[in-house]
Amino acid sequence: MTDIIKSIENAQYNASLSKSEIEAILKDNSINDFLFAAADKVRQKYVGNEVHLRGLIEFSNICRCNCFYCGLRKDNLTVQRYRMSADEIISLAQKAKDYGYKTVVLQSGEDAFFDKDKMCKIISSIKQFGLALTLSIGEKSYDEYKSYKEAGADRYLLRIETTDKELYKKLHPSMTFENRLKCLENLKSLGFEVGTGCLVGLPEQSDESIAEDILFFKKLGADMIGLGPFIPCPNTPLKDEQGGTLIKALKVMALTRLLLPDINIPATTAMETLQENGRLLALQSGANVVMPNVTDEECKQKYVIYPGKAGLNNTAQEYKNSIVEKIEALGRTISQDYGFHKKTV
């Protein structure tokens, strides 16, 4: 047995890997199948065969930030911007409930139009449907996060994107790594289930820095980790970069499952975008969550974080049915509960 295989074997039992072990695993592609199988076993043992579906509502593509990788960045003047009304958002959430979702995820650019009061009204209306609610709306003040929590929001997704501070600075004009981190700490202290994650395959991102990202997830005590390949987007400063690969993103995800055995890990749309059935591969390599889009057609087409996003040509209902069918064909079941993080380690 090679040392690398041995360290993967051990990690299945002690949920621990050193930075140099993670780097060695990332570099060696001969062990990929072994790694994916190990993550699949750990997923099965700790979170079982159920897959949690979360209905995603992309309610505004207006953003004041200028992240270099993202199609929705402020300086991209080719985007047709939209913003749903509170009523539209609430009625989509109702629709998600009717489709059978137990959780809705509200995602948007950093759109200042939705101030604290507007957001809290939307949150409390949706909570009346008996849904779990996840927010993914960017960096806010402690006070805003506190109000969202009091209005009933359960979870918050805010990817750290990269823990390489130099790279973070280059990619995020007028944002700081320190504030992003502070936001995550605030969310944790307020009692949110906290999700973070990273982009895989950013320019100048080393395996060492990815290893640090994974160790950061563990140190933070994340409840969810969403990660995916960086996909270059036209009309952004990184449009000509190479981007990440599906395999590398799956490896980072599998390693995350080994180190955080009982958390929720989505098979992300970016994975499906790079390869048809990429999401199913993810479900067999450590993932236990899928977030189908319930945004209506017209808005979905305009929410272009990266090009070629999977699922653009299906209605929300078609999309859900086909995902459910595929999940069941893997011998997995669709969860009927809220899918909160059940801590076992």
For ligand SF4, the binding residues (CB under 6 A) are: 63, 65, 67, 70, 72-73, 109-110, 138, 305
**Pick 137 or 214: Cβ nearer ligand SF4:** 137
Tokens 């993932």 belong to which residue?
287
Q: Which does 73 bind (CB under 5 to 8 A by kind): ligand SF4, ligand SAH, none?
A: ligand SF4
231 binds ligand SAH (CB under 6 A): yes
**Min dist. Cβ of residue 309 to ligand SAH (A):** 9
305 binds ligand SAH (CB under 6 A): yes
159 binds ligand SAH (CB under 6 A): yes
**Min dist. Cβ of residue 70 to ligand SF4 (A):** 3
Rounded to whole angstroms, how far apart are CA atoms 157 and 192?
Answer: 10
Q: Which does 156 bind (CB under 5 to 8 A by kind): ligand SF4, ligand SAH, none?
A: none
**Pick 110 or 262: Cβ nearer ligand SF4:** 110
**Pick 64 or 342: Cβ nearer ligand SF4:** 64
Read off φ and ψ for residue 247, nearest 5 degrees: -60, -45
**Min dist. Cβ of residue 246 to ligand SAH (A):** 12
Near ligand SAH by CB under 6 A: residue from 36, 59, 68, 69 = 69
Stretch that binds ligand SAH, among 86-94, 104-112, 174-182, 275-283 (CB under 6 A): 104-112
70 binds ligand SAH (CB under 6 A): yes
55 binds ligand SAH (CB under 6 A): no
Q: Which residues pair with 105 in a beta bridge?
A: 56, 134
177 binds ligand SAH (CB under 6 A): no
**Pick 65 or 220: Cβ nearer ligand SF4:** 65
Q: Which does 231 bind (CB under 5 to 8 A by kind): ligand SF4, ligand SAH, none?
A: ligand SAH
**Min dist. Cβ of residue 152 to ligand SAH (A):** 20
Tokens 């599998």 belong to which residue?
254
Q: Which does 159 bind (CB under 5 to 8 A by kind): ligand SAH, ligand SF4, none?
A: ligand SAH
Q: Do 339 and 295 meet the contact criterion of CB atoms below 8 Å apart?
A: no
Residues that bind ligand SAH (CB under 6 A): 69-70, 107, 109-110, 136, 138, 158-159, 161, 199, 228, 230-231, 233, 270, 305-306
